[in-house]
Structure 1
Amino acid sequence: MQAKYLKLDITSNVATVTLYRPDKANSLSPEVLVEIESLFGELSNRDDVHVIVLTGGERYFSAGFDLDEIRKLEKVSNENYTALFHRTYRSIMFCSQPVICAVGGAAIAGGFDLTMMCDIRYASERAKFGQREIALSLTPIMDPLWRIIGLGRAKEVALTGRIYDAREAEIMGYVSKVFPEGELLSSVNKIACEMARFDRGCLKESKQLANMILDQGLDEAMRMQEWLFRTYIGSDDNHRRIDDLRALMSKRS
């Protein structure tokens, strides 16, 4: 696809998707949302992509909703715009590959929601996070937020509309790690490339499993995990990777 507001790089089975609307701090206009939905739909079906990194670069992530666009809406005619947002969210959350979010700057309101749809979140020291919908008389997205940080903390984030710095986000478990300013993208790319060496199917099914088990009873979840494990153990790729690991350990000893 030809995108105006996204940049795409595919290297070593890692697709890096960069939001690119710097004059608007990467705010999410309908055109940006359409491009994200379309690109993630395409990437989801690419066998040469094992991991996806979503970022806005070292300076930005996304300031959120394009307020000029929202101001044009009427309550009786907002269905298409609302549906577009949620299709875009779903295109990230249910993308086949693991999606890593690299947050270099402010991730606010709709921008925060995009980070929520990713599987892993890393941030630079200059990153900021805030679910500001309540300040705009809009209802926030609580799920999957509560699954990530717990219901009590999710209520705080949603109902106060407070802006959190990167360290606070790390402490609450929303961000996995904070990197020094200017080192985010190189650090995340290293992690993504290590992940991309793993079997694509195993990555895909492990992500699906993580999304499914929250809605299962413990016994059912354990049975599902046993069945999935059984489909991989003893496979040719499993044997090859064991041999590779043994060879590596032998060199180190």
Structure 2
Amino acid sequence: MTDLVRFEVEDGIGTIRLDRPPMNALNSEIAHGVIEACDEASTRSDVGAVVLYGGEKVFAAGADIKEMAALSYADVAPHTVLLQDFARAIARVPKPTVAAITGYALGGGCEIALACDFRVAAKRARLGQPEILLGVIPGAGGTQRLARLIGPARAKDLIFSGRFVSADEALAIGLVDEVVDSEEPDAVYAAAKARVAAYATGPRLALAAAKEAVDKGIEVDLQSGLELERALFWSLFATRDKEIGMTSFIENGPGKAVFEGS
């Protein structure tokens, strides 16, 4: 794994840490590093949830424009594939994921935050898709994930204008799920970990199935989504966690089960 991306595990939560000071500009090396970290997070049995974190001062202020500006029309095709693979790798982690946004999350930075299940932001954070100001559009899923998250009209406002939104506005329009009003340097990271801590010890196969049902279901018609849900529901009756969960509920009531992840 590259020095620009670190993967650490503590208490069942894996942290993918971007480390390219000062602004975590996203380049090909970071993209490959995050893809590798997502693969590791997906397969490690000691990881039940994942935090994507850029550090105490910034999340990711966008793509490395110097790298991108050097690309020709012919060069940009594989680069665009890499950008989308980068965000897709985050979205496809079969475990709950949360972005801990401390400062700027712009362009590609906003897009990789969108690929997470949840977003927790510092009060001072700023988010946006300013690609239009460079004469291009979001290329790592921003036009698609943003519209699905906050609706087409609001997504068009942000994408057409390229404007930044405050954490409070982001919360109001559904772009983030929580705003942390604290000056403590690790407050946002702590809040992000707290948001997914319960999932880290939850029924992992059921959580993965729930995530798949929601994420794939919104991409198809209702009937196809219901068929997917039915198949995933059935599949969980072959798991040990289903036996543990239902037996525990009958004997002890809700919330007492200790799942095995099998």
TM-score by length of 1: 0.90
2:17 aligns to what SS in structure 1?
strand
Q: Percent identity?
A: 27
Residue aligning to 1:111: 109
Contact 2:53 2:101 in 1 (8 A): yes
Residues 75, 220 of structure 1: CA spacing in aligned structure 2 closer, same or farther, 3 A cutoff? closer
Q: CA deviation at 1:136?
A: 0.8
1:68 to 41, 66, 82: 66
Residue aligning to 2:190: 186
Looking at structure 2, the residues matched to 247 and 123 of structure 1 have their Cα atoms a distance apart, in angstroms, of 29
Looking at structure 1, the residues matched to 111 and 255 of structure 2 have their Cα atoms a distance apart, in angstroms, of 43
Residue aligning to 1:237: 244
Question: Larger deviation: 28-37 or 166-175?
Answer: 28-37
Q: Structure 1: which amino acid aligns with 2:198?
A: E
Deviation sequence 1:29-54 (CA, Å, 0-9, x none): 21111111111122212222111110
Looking at structure 2, the residues matched to 98 and 195 of structure 1 have their Cα atoms a distance apart, in angstroms, of 7
Looking at structure 2, the residues matched to 139 and 127 of structure 1 have their Cα atoms a distance apart, in angstroms, of 22
Looking at structure 1, the residues matched to 220 and 75 of structure 2 have their Cα atoms a distance apart, in angstroms, of 37
Deviation sequence 1:193-231 (CA, Å, 0-9, x none): 112121111111111001111133334433443443344
Tell me the matched-pair count.
Answer: 246
Q: CA deviation at 1:83?
A: 1.7
Q: Does 1:138 align with 2:136?
A: yes
Contact 2:121 2:167 in 1 (8 A): yes
Q: CA deviation at 1:8?
A: 2.0
Looking at structure 2, the residues matched to 208 and 14 of structure 1 have their Cα atoms a distance apart, in angstroms, of 20
2:9 aligns to what SS in structure 1?
strand
Deviation sequence 1:64-118 (CA, Å, 0-9, x none): 1111111221122222222211111111111221211110110011111111111
Residues 238, 78 of structure 1: CA spacing in aligned structure 2 closer, same or farther, 3 A cutoff? same
Q: Structure 1: which amino acid aligns with 2:242?
A: S
Deviation sequence 1:133-181 (CA, Å, 0-9, x none): 1111112231111110011111111111010000000000111110123
Looking at structure 2, the residues matched to 247 and 134 of structure 1 have their Cα atoms a distance apart, in angstroms, of 48
1:144 aligns to what SS in structure 2?
helix
List gaps (5 residues or longer) in structure 1. 249-253
Looking at structure 1, the residues matched to 111 and 12 of structure 2 have their Cα atoms a distance apart, in angstroms, of 26
Residue aligning to 1:162: 163
Q: Structure 2: which amino acid aligns with 1:239?
A: M
Looking at structure 1, the residues matched to 64 and 152 of structure 2 have their Cα atoms a distance apart, in angstroms, of 28
2:16 aligns to what SS in structure 1?
strand
Q: CA deviation at 1:60?
A: 0.7
Q: Structure 1: which amino acid aligns with 2:171?
A: E
CA RMSD, aligned part only? 1.9
Looking at structure 2, the residues matched to 97 and 12 of structure 1 have their Cα atoms a distance apart, in angstroms, of 15
Q: Structure 2: which amino acid aligns with 1:58?
A: E
Looking at structure 2, the residues matched to 10 and 244 of structure 1 have their Cα atoms a distance apart, in angstroms, of 31
Q: CA deviation at 1:14?
A: 0.9
2:225 aligns to what SS in structure 1?
helix
List gaps (5 residues or longer) in structure 2. 257-262
Looking at structure 2, the residues matched to 202 and 11 of structure 1 have their Cα atoms a distance apart, in angstroms, of 22
Q: Structure 2: which amino acid aligns with 1:210?
A: V
Residues 220, 79 of structure 1: CA spacing in aligned structure 2 closer, same or farther, 3 A cutoff? closer
Residue aligning to 2:17: 18
Contact 1:58 1:124 in 2 (8 A): no
